[in-house]
Amino acid sequence: IIDQVKKEAAAKGLSSCVITFDPHPQQVLTGKKLPFITPFEKRVKLFEKE
């Protein structure tokens, strides 16, 4: 998905961005801690590669 967003943005001369949440939005709403599919630190490293 991220690659597609980047390609479409570049084709239109625009910038792309990624929005990620920490803590999990459901945790903010319910107070219950929920696991992420990808931990925050790993997400940062993945986005830095891009």
Its sign, for the CA torsion 18, 28, 30, 44, is: positive
The gap from C-alpha 11 to its chain's centroid, in whole angstroms, comes to 21
With cut-offs at 50, 70 and 90, classify the pLDDT of residue 9: very high
Q: So what's the pLDDT on residue 2?
A: 85
DSSP state of 12: T
Domain map (residue ranges) of the chain:
21-50
In sequence order, the 6+-apart residues with CB closer than 8 A to the CB of 23 are 33
How do residues 16-41 score in pLDDT, each as one tens digit?
A: 988 888 888 899 999 998 888 888 88
How do residues 10-21 score in pLDDT, each as one tens digit?
A: 999 999 988 888
Q: So what's the pLDDT on residue 35?
A: 85
